[in-house]
Structure 1
Amino acid sequence: MAAALISGQEWSRVSPRYVGVELVSSLITGLVLCGATVPFIVLGTWFGWPALAVAIVVAVLLLALAPRRVRAIGYRMRDDDLLFTRGIMFQRVVAVPYGRMQLIDVNRGPVARALGLAELKFVTAAASTGVTIPGLPEAEAAELRDRLVALAESRRAGL
């Protein structure tokens, strides 16, 4: 089903600069994982060094896969809804109907802000939706937010 939704359609992708945000996030995660093994190494437990080796491998994998994770993120505006996709191994495709959008929020983290990027977060009546489009240039995020708000208002008025 997901492949049928994705194939043959033109998707808008996030900015390639978003790779920087993902790399910083992966690096911090790797450092935390490696740091979590230090007490076991200091205490002399038998699994301290193997745990550190596993943490290093996980950190390297996270860093190596960051560009591919960014390329897997996309969105597409259709007549009645916004499609959002992400994921390499476990692909997620979400359709958010315009009439169900209650709030569209623009967020900027410190690294993303330094790179001129923002993310759009959608709040709908269903709490489990949790759709966030990261890595959009700030101007594009603001324009997309305004366009989606107008579409959401017109669709709710028609209900």
Structure 2
Amino acid sequence: MDTGTKGETGAPQWVGLPGGLLTMRRTLLAFWAGLLTVGTGLLLGLLVGPPWAAAAAFWPAALGWGWVLLGRNWRSWRYAERADDLLISRGVLWREQTVVPYGRMQLVEVTSGPVERRFGLASLQLHTAAAATDARIPGLAPAEAERLRDRLTALGEARSAGL
């Protein structure tokens, strides 16, 4: 069965994001929390006094909280390819689902910044005529992002040819 086609029950087949996005975000969180812990501890310890350096314990606590939230956010992202459109779902507290009809797509681009490239990731950005469209799928493997770009571009051209 093709990925994203309707299954036996008629529901779309959702595809979650690979674990590389979660690894990247948690690594960045740990890096910044560690840097802020050391910086806050040294700064407060030298300027105000050693007892105040204990305030730097805020950052490891924020790290623990952020670690859990990043996991929940990562699990909330998913997408599904259907016959006429692409579904993108995300959000933990406020669920958001974007439906992008293939015939409405104007540009499909794959981007990968330096940090994403370091972790072997790429993002897919979909542009439509609507300025407010935020159709983006982050943290894909580059090969999957390119496959999706090529497939969506081909489907978009086929659907818009009839307009």
**TM-score grouping bracket, smaller chain normalisation:** 0.7 to 0.9
Q: Does 1:17 align with 2:51?
A: no
Look up the match of 1:153.
157
Task: For residue 60 of structure 1, give the secondary structure of its aligned residue in structure 2.
Answer: helix
The structural deviation recorded for 1:34 is 7.0
Unaligned runs of at least 5 residues, structure 1: 1-7
Distance in 2 (alpha carbons) for counterparts of 1:141 and 1:116? 11
1:114-144 CA-to-partner distances (Å, cap 9, x unmatched) read 2221110111111111111011111111011
Q: Tell me, which stretches of 5 or more residues in structure 2 are unaligned?
A: 1-10
1:69 Cα offset (Å): 1.6
Secondary structure class of the residue paired with 1:17: helix
Distance 1:25-1:155 versus aligned 2 partners, 3 A rule: farther
Contact 2:12/2:82 (CA < 8 Å) preserved in 1? no
Greater shift after overlay, 9-18 or 135-144? 9-18
Residues 1:151 and 1:24: Cα distance change in structure 2 (over 3 Å): same
- Mapping 1:3-152, distance limit 5 Å: 8-27=11-30, 30=33, 57-152=61-156
Q: Residues of 1 paired with 2:108 and 2:32: CA distance?
A: 28
Q: May I ask how many residue pairs the two structures share in their alignment? A: 149
Distance verdict in 2 for CA 1:121–1:31, change over 3 Å: farther
Tell me the equivalent position of 2:8: none
TM-score computed with the length of structure 1 as normaliser: 0.76
Distance 1:34 1:130 in 2: 35
Contact 1:12 1:76 (8 Å CA) reproduced: yes
Secondary structure of the corresponding residue to residue 65 of structure 1: helix
CA drift of 1:26 comes to 3.3
Question: Which structure's CA Rg is the greater one?
Answer: 2
Letter in 1 for 2:97: V
Q: Secondary structure at the match of 2:156?
A: helix
Contact 1:29-1:59 within 8 A present in 2 as well: no
